[in-house]
Amino acid sequence: MKSNVGKLLSTAAIAATISTGAAAATLDDVKAKGFIQCGVSQGVPGFSNADSNGEWSGIDVDACRATAAAIFGDAQKVKFTPTVC
């Protein structure tokens, strides 16, 4: 039993190390690109909806802007890509 727990903990530690490295590389890629790319559904008021001027609003849009603000210090460093449902 102890052997199985040890193997499980070792596997978990290796997986955490690998995923942390992958996440760091992804963040570096986003920073190099200079903006956050967010897919948003079209015409779902409250979640993501573009007005007549093409300005997006909704909770999904706000989450993308918050992420951009956290990474770049600028909530406008985001590009929205409408998804097809």
Check if the beta carbon of residue 64 is closer than 8 Å to that of residue 78. Answer: yes
Residue range of the domain that includes 57: 34-85
8-37: pLDDT as tens digits: 555 555 555 555 556 678 888 999 999 999
Q: In terms of domains, do 41 and 79 share one? A: yes
Which whole-number Å values give the CA distances from 20 to 17, 36, 63, in the listed order?
5, 20, 22
Q: In terms of domains, do 21 and 1 share one? A: yes
Q: In terms of domains, do 28 and 46 share one? A: no
Q: In terms of domains, do 62 and 29 share one? A: no
Domains identified in the chain, total number: 2
What percentage of residues in the chain have a pLDDT greater than 70? 71
Q: Judge whether residue 72 has pLDDT over 90.
A: yes
pTM, full prediction = 0.67
* β-strand partners of 39: 81
CA angle 68, 61, 42 (to 5 degrees): 140
Q: In terms of domains, do 65 and 25 share one? A: no
